[in-house]
Amino acid sequence: MQFRFDDTTITINLPHAAALLTEAKARLAARQGFALATINLDHLVKLNTDASFRRAYAAQDLVVADGNPIVWLSRLARRPVQLVPGSEMVVPLARVAAQTGAKVALLGSTEAALAAAAEALRAEVPGLEIALQIAPPMGFDPEGTEAASMLRLLETSDIGLTFIALGAPKQERLAARGRALAPHVGFASIGAGLDFLAGTQTRAPEWVQKIAMEWAWRMMSNPRRLIGRYAACFRILPGEALKALKAR
């Protein structure tokens, strides 16, 4: 499944979770870095208007579908992919890191949330080594000097896998920069994944997820922040559906 823009094309190159875990395991075992992005409809909105975000996305090595609308669009295009929510991949990716002996870093959110997430991950994944926990300050710039120092610290600390929980587009921009400054580190941009583990944010109940209405549950839980975001997502859906049909 591909999304075409004037200056770049973004390809979902891993069709399901099993493919992601196989690829991540091989790269971690070989100490070969990577950047993982989990594309959703909000990302498409940003990609349509933000050239720097498109450049960052083009630098991602691995892309999966995070969001039912992306899965539906892939079916319309007759290039079906499965749903791979980034927040659900944190524990499986951590298991792969433990299996390959890769050190893990947590980057984003708050110090308290990172501590709670680290505790939860260690309980879920025996033998997991979480070597660094980095909570960037407010106003953190992924293109700034502080970000460069963080990325070099990850490289020199022999980190194999870093979970980045900064939200789009910051996390993808940091991961893209990390491919140059920390080439042996795997970067997984997972949004609120660490906050879910820490319990500082709560996912929709499982039955809501099964009927593909998690977006509505989230919007009702934080309408001031999310109504505008989802309205923008709905506005681009008809156009994206037409593009998918033309791609058949």
| pLDDT score of 211 more than 80 | no
Instruction: Classify burial at 205, counting beta carbons within 10 Å of its beta carbon; exposed 0-12, middle 13-18, buried 19 or more.
Output: exposed
- The more confidently predicted of residues 208 and 234 is 234
- Residue 70 is predicted with a pLDDT of 95
Mean pLDDT of the chain: 91
**Residues 137-150: tens digit of each pLDDT:** 988 999 999 999 99
- Picking from 147-156, 158-167, 225-234, which range would have the lowest pLDDT averaged per residue? 225-234
Per-residue pLDDT at 196? 87
Query: According to the model, what pLDDT value does residue 6 have?
Result: 87
pLDDT of residue 192: 83
Strand pairing class (159-165; 186-189): parallel
Higher pLDDT, 211 or 51: 51
pLDDT of residue 138: 87
Q: Please write the tens of the pLDDT for every residue from 42-70.
A: 999 999 999 999 999 999 999 999 989 99
Determine the pLDDT at residue 87. Answer: 87
Domain ranges of the chain: 2-202
User: What is the arithmetic mean of pLDDT over 190-218?
Assistant: 72
List, for residues 104-140, the tens digit of each pLDDT value.
Answer: 999 998 999 999 999 999 999 999 999 999 999 988 9
Q: What is the pLDDT of residue 202?
A: 65
CA 68 to CA 209: how far, in whole Å? 10
Chain segment 65-95, per-residue pLDDT in tens: 998 999 999 999 999 999 999 989 999 999 9
Q: In what order do the strands lie in the sheet with 62-65?
A: 62-65, 34-39, 186-189, 159-165, 103-108, 130-134
pLDDT of 162 higher than 90: yes
Partners of 104 in beta bridges: 130, 161
**CB of 213 closer than 8 Å to CB of 204:** yes
8 Å CB contact between 181 and 153? no
Residue 215: the pLDDT is 60
- Residue 19 backbone phi and psi in degrees, to 5: -65, -40
Q: What is the mean pLDDT of residues 205-215?
A: 64
Side chain identity, residue 165: A
Q: Which of 144-148, 168-172, 189-193, 202-206 has the lowest mean pLDDT?
A: 202-206
